[in-house]
Structure 1
Amino acid sequence: METRIERDSMGTIDVPADRYWGAQTQRSLGNFDIGRDTFVWGRAMVHALGVLKKSAAAANTALGELPSEVGNLVVQAADEVIAGKLDDHFPLVVFQTGSGTQSNMNSNEVISNRAIELAGGEKGSKDPVHPNDHVNRGQSSNDTFPTAMHIAVVCELNERLYGSVKQLRDTLAKKSEEYADVVKVGRTHLQDATPITLGQEIGEWVAQIDFALERVREADTATRDLAIGGTAVGTGLNAHPEFGKTCAAEISKETGLEFRQAENLFASLSAHDALVTVSAALRTLAGALMKMANDVRWLASGPRNGIGELLIPANEPGSSIMPGKVNPTQCEAMTMVATRVFGNDATVGFAGTQGNFQLNVYKPVMAHAVLESIRLIADACVSFDEHCAQGIEPDHEVIAHNLDRNLMVVTALNRHIGYDKAATIAKKAHAEGTTLREAALASGEVSEADFDKWVVPMDMTHNN
């Protein structure tokens, strides 16, 4: 493999000749061979670093900190990073320096060398664009990496998560309306309870998703505060006094999303409570989706020896040994995604407590965990919607059969004959294997006309 010599403060090192990264990225490749999860996964962090470096160059040029010809070269190279043209030049793994220094320098080196190439120079020469002096002007990894974290998370929430969750949510809302008149057995404690409608049952899932999604949006708002301009410890040393605000404005312009410089830059470097909050909200959303998926697979259980009140699409064979078996695989995939999100949240929650003095050094793993949770939830919602939710239908025959056998409609008799007499009727019906109507009439406490007037399952699905 052909190489070139790159230099940094530790000396020289060979770098593949066709790569845009430089010495510090190459050292990181050798020092952190831990897993192969890179930030190219989902492109979120690489895209965010490109947005940040372009915006920083534009801000520094506007403030007179960079010559326009240098600033324009950086912007041009950063545009290629944003577009994904240089993804192969971002090879670093999640488990690296806790400040994200190597990934910050990876972006500085790639943009510098590509800018040099655009100017007709030689990669590795650091002329006319230096990775530190120009691309990283007025910045430290300690403020750029958390800024990129926030850009990536906010962009992924708005461009990937919200639309995907809404797609599933809207399908369920339509199903709720469509089946508003389908009366079925309610269940509490995994035991029969008073009637509800299938529309009400599905509507509960919609309400949970709405609640959780609102919490995510609230966390999104707090994540728009950026650490940029804080440099190494939050003081802003070596940055133009207006750099942070100007850069945040450029980031807003580039992404079409409103960002702002954080009011307290010390907190933005040493704590990442906004990401902890996003992760917690995603955990709540995952919990709502798990509840929905578990309900669907229980209600669709069978086909002959389960509850069987719902029919769901049969997408693939379910067994290598049992012919004809079909499983609720979309429900299983969704619940596995939820467990992963719960695990990611545990990582983020703990990592968020580990800020010491002026810096939290768990940044890369926090960013990776939150971004993975966003991606998994978004993908799972689309998959569940297209391969399960859209095809959900009630099995009217099973629902009617179960409702007819439901002893808990006896609750409608409470106000007329009292709890104790109603309980005696229900127990008699269960013990003798009769219907509730038969047991009630046999008790002598209720006439046929009164039973038919008082025990109306649809009337029991709302407060009369």
Structure 2
Amino acid sequence: MVRLEKDLLGEREVPATVYYGIHTMRALENFPLTEYKVSPVLIKAIALIKKTAAEVNFELGYLTKEKGQAIAQAADEILNGQWQDQFVVDALQGGAGTSTNMNVNEVLANRAIELLGGQKGNYSLVHPLNDVNMHQSTNDVYPTALRIAAIWLLKPLSEGCAALQEALQAKEAAFAGVIKVGRTEMQDAVPIMLGQEFSAYAGAIARDRWRLHKVEERLRQAALGGTAIGTGINANKKYIFMVNDRVRQYAGIGLARAENMIDVIQNADVFVEVSGLLKALAVNLGKISHDLRLLSSGPRAGLRELRLPERQAGSSIMPGKVNPIIPEAVNQTAFHIMASDMAITMAAQSGQLELNAFMPLIAHHLLGSLKILTNAVHILDEFCVQGLTADEEHCRNLLENSQVSVTALVPHIGYDLASKVARRASEENITIRAAALALAVLPAEKLDAILDPRAMTRPGIAGTPK
């Protein structure tokens, strides 16, 4: 069964059972690109705007009560998770998001028609453009919906960062007494407490958490009523004020009508800013994950200072092998986010004159990055960090067999003589203390005070009064 619909370009048969219409059908034909669908969060944000517009237009006398209520009820159904299978256009599309906007318009119109007792496609009851899209343009709806969706997704990501930060701080406390070799450029450097290493990880995530919390402010400018290019053509002035105020209430976030809607519609730099902070979080997650993989390497022939939770068997050919799969997955997520950031950057700078035609690419990558990062933060926290343990004895043995303590001698005997001590220890495979005694650089008692590894993990000169 089909129904016949018309548009500017002619007629098309549309399956009778679907809620979308001819504009969506043409988009399906025109954009068989990625098989990725538009983010459900973005669809909900658009539906929220359509609900608000319908209510305001009814209150201002532009829609009948029956139409306004039917559109609003259909939008509520979408907000409650219904009809997701009707949003079928590809995430990447020409037209600055028009296909997505029309997909939502048609679904809302046809569902509203049903609610009024009509048959899908009878647009004399509720029209996708004349009624659902009244006082709107894709160009003000889509970027505003993207801002709303991004803010909605920022909150769980920020909360996930808070939980990860707490987990890292818990390990900082748990490992406060574990002394080990600190390394620079993959080489032995000076002693450090394992807890101190984790304090640095926690500090990095704390910065990300704060940055993400603050960047929400940049997204709070709504352009509803700006219509095509931000001038507000075809939008009633009362509608402009009312729709922005009510969207803020329904969205539950601090939106405000942009003072310069032309700016908000044509420029996408705010999304680049948000993406840059997501990239910064990805960088920190990737660095932490690399460290966890390295510090847990082995277990017999590697560093083996940390033990990661065992999540699954690691090899189809090597019995007993368990791989660091959670950090590996987080690393891959980090690479993905960095690539998405580049796509967002290029799309934003490619906007021309009064509109950015590449908003669908920005939306796809930005909202996808927010969701993926939230998942990555969660698994790193729950499946890895919380279950980390330290091999304290092995850490201590590595430290005792290293030459990292030689640095503490420099303030007392100078760099050149300390280098001779290090060379002697290396050539004879003895400790720094033994080499220093052999060269008679300092009395044994003084050496013991200087070479206390724990003293080297605190500010000051080891072996001198505090």
TM-score band by shorter chain is over 0.9
Aligned-partner Cα distance in 1 for 2:57–2:178: 64
Aligned residues: 460
Instruction: Give CA deviations for 1:374-417 in whole Å, capped at 9, x if unaligned.
Output: 11111111112222111111101110011112212112222222
Does residue 121 (structure 1) correspond to residue 118 (structure 2)? The answer is yes
Residue 61 of structure 1 contacts residue 67 of structure 1 at CA under 8 Å; is this kept in 2? Answer: yes
Letter in structure 2 aligned against 1:140: S
Residue 161 of structure 2 contacts residue 208 of structure 2 at CA under 8 Å; is this kept in 1? Answer: no
Q: Which position in structure 1 is the counterpart of 2:130?
A: 133
Q: Which position in structure 1 is the counterpart of 2:159?
A: 163
Task: Report the CA distance between 1:60 and its aligned residue.
Answer: 2.4
Does residue 35 (structure 1) correspond to residue 31 (structure 2)? The answer is no
Q: Which position in structure 1 is the counterpart of 2:23?
A: 24
Task: Report the CA distance between 1:435 and its aligned residue.
Answer: 0.7
Aligned-partner Cα distance in 2 for 1:213–1:130: 44
Task: Report the CA distance between 1:308 and its aligned residue.
Answer: 0.8
Does residue 144 (structure 1) correspond to residue 141 (structure 2)? The answer is yes
Q: Which position in structure 2 is the counterpart of 1:423?
A: 419
Q: Which position in structure 1 is the counterpart of 2:463?
A: none
Aligned-partner Cα distance in 2 for 1:78–1:360: 27
Letter in structure 2 aligned against 1:291: K
Task: Report the CA distance between 1:242 and its aligned residue.
Answer: 3.4
Of 333, 338, 342 in structure 2, the residue corresponding to residue 337 of structure 1 is: 333
Residue 161 of structure 2 contacts residue 206 of structure 2 at CA under 8 Å; is this kept in 1? Answer: no
Matches within 5 A, 1:194-209: 194-209=190-205
Does residue 388 (structure 1) correspond to residue 384 (structure 2)? The answer is yes
Task: Report the CA distance between 1:156 and its aligned residue.
Answer: 1.1
Residue 14 of structure 2 aligns to a residue whose secondary structure is: strand
Q: Which position in structure 2 is the counterpart of 1:3?
A: 2
Instruction: Give CA deviations for 1:103-145 in whole Å, capped at 9, x if unaligned.
Output: 1011111111111110111211113221111111110111111
Residue 312 of structure 1 contacts residue 391 of structure 1 at CA under 8 Å; is this kept in 2? Answer: yes
Of 290, 303, 307 in structure 1, the residue corresponding to residue 299 of structure 2 is: 303
Of 286, 291, 311 in structure 1, the residue corresponding to residue 287 of structure 2 is: 291
Aligned-partner Cα distance in 1 for 2:55–2:426: 77
Matches within 5 A, 1:171-186: 171-186=167-182
Task: Report the CA distance between 1:61 and its aligned residue.
Answer: 2.8
Task: Report the CA distance between 1:199 and its aligned residue.
Answer: 1.1
Aligned-partner Cα distance in 2 for 1:229–1:457: 66
Residue 192 of structure 1 aligns to a residue whose secondary structure is: strand
Aligned-partner Cα distance in 2 for 1:87–1:321: 43
Residue 4 of structure 1 aligns to a residue whose secondary structure is: strand
Normalising by structure 1, what TM-score? Answer: 0.96
Of 43, 51, 70 in structure 1, the residue corresponding to residue 67 of structure 2 is: 70
Instruction: Give CA deviations for 1:291-344 in whole Å, capped at 9, x if unaligned.
Output: 100000000001011111001111111111111111111111000000000000
Does residue 362 (structure 1) correspond to residue 358 (structure 2)? The answer is yes
Q: Which position in structure 1 is the counterpart of 2:93?
A: 96
Instruction: Give CA deviations for 1:34-75 in whole Å, capped at 9, x if unaligned.
Output: 121001x4x211111111111222232333433333211111
Residue 84 of structure 1 aligns to a residue whose secondary structure is: coil
Aligned-partner Cα distance in 2 for 1:310–1:427: 30
Residue 116 of structure 1 contacts residue 127 of structure 1 at CA under 8 Å; is this kept in 2? Answer: no
Q: Which position in structure 2 is the counterpart of 1:227?
A: 223
Letter in structure 1 aligned against 2:289: A
Q: Which position in structure 2 is the counterpart of 1:49?
A: 46
Does residue 453 (structure 1) correspond to residue 449 (structure 2)? The answer is yes
Aligned-partner Cα distance in 2 for 1:388–1:145: 38
Aligned-partner Cα distance in 1 for 2:271–2:53: 23
Of 391, 397, 413 in structure 2, the residue corresponding to residue 401 of structure 1 is: 397
Aligned-partner Cα distance in 2 for 1:245–1:176: 51
Aligned-partner Cα distance in 2 for 1:214–1:368: 24
Instruction: Give CA deviations for 1:167-224 in whole Å, capped at 9, x if unaligned.
Output: 2221111111221221111111111111111111011111111212322233221011
Residue 98 of structure 1 contacts residue 360 of structure 1 at CA under 8 Å; is this kept in 2? Answer: no
Q: Which moved more, 1:388-397 or 1:55-64?
A: 55-64
Residue 49 of structure 2 contacts residue 247 of structure 2 at CA under 8 Å; is this kept in 1? Answer: yes
Of 364, 368, 375 in structure 1, the residue corresponding to residue 371 of structure 2 is: 375
Aligned-partner Cα distance in 2 for 1:401–1:245: 69
CA RMSD of aligned residues (A): 1.4
Q: Which position in structure 1 is the counterpart of 2:80?
A: 83
Q: Which moved more, 1:165-174 or 1:197-206?
A: 165-174
Structure 1's unaligned 5+ residue stretches are none
Residue 454 of structure 2 aligns to a residue whose secondary structure is: helix
Matches within 5 A, 1:242-261: 242-261=238-257
Letter in structure 1 aligned against 2:115: L
Residue 94 of structure 2 contacts residue 357 of structure 2 at CA under 8 Å; is this kept in 1? Answer: yes
Aligned-partner Cα distance in 1 for 2:299–2:238: 66
Aligned-partner Cα distance in 2 for 1:58–1:456: 73
Residue 237 of structure 2 aligns to a residue whose secondary structure is: coil
Q: Which position in structure 1 is the counterpart of 2:268?
A: 272
Q: Which position in structure 2 is the counterpart of 1:441?
A: 437
Aligned-partner Cα distance in 2 for 1:106–1:23: 9
Task: Report the CA distance between 1:244 and its aligned residue.
Answer: 3.3
Residue 341 of structure 1 contacts residue 373 of structure 1 at CA under 8 Å; is this kept in 2? Answer: yes
Aligned-partner Cα distance in 1 for 2:229–2:354: 6
Q: Which moved more, 1:223-232 or 1:293-302?
A: 223-232
Residue 121 of structure 1 contacts residue 127 of structure 1 at CA under 8 Å; is this kept in 2? Answer: no
Q: Which moved more, 1:393-402 or 1:177-186?
A: 177-186
Give the share of equivalent positions with the same residue, in percent.
Answer: 39
Residue 90 of structure 1 contacts residue 107 of structure 1 at CA under 8 Å; is this kept in 2? Answer: yes
Residue 58 of structure 1 contacts residue 250 of structure 1 at CA under 8 Å; is this kept in 2? Answer: no
Aligned-partner Cα distance in 2 for 1:57–1:447: 87
Aligned-partner Cα distance in 2 for 1:201–1:388: 16
Residue 25 of structure 1 contacts residue 102 of structure 1 at CA under 8 Å; is this kept in 2? Answer: yes
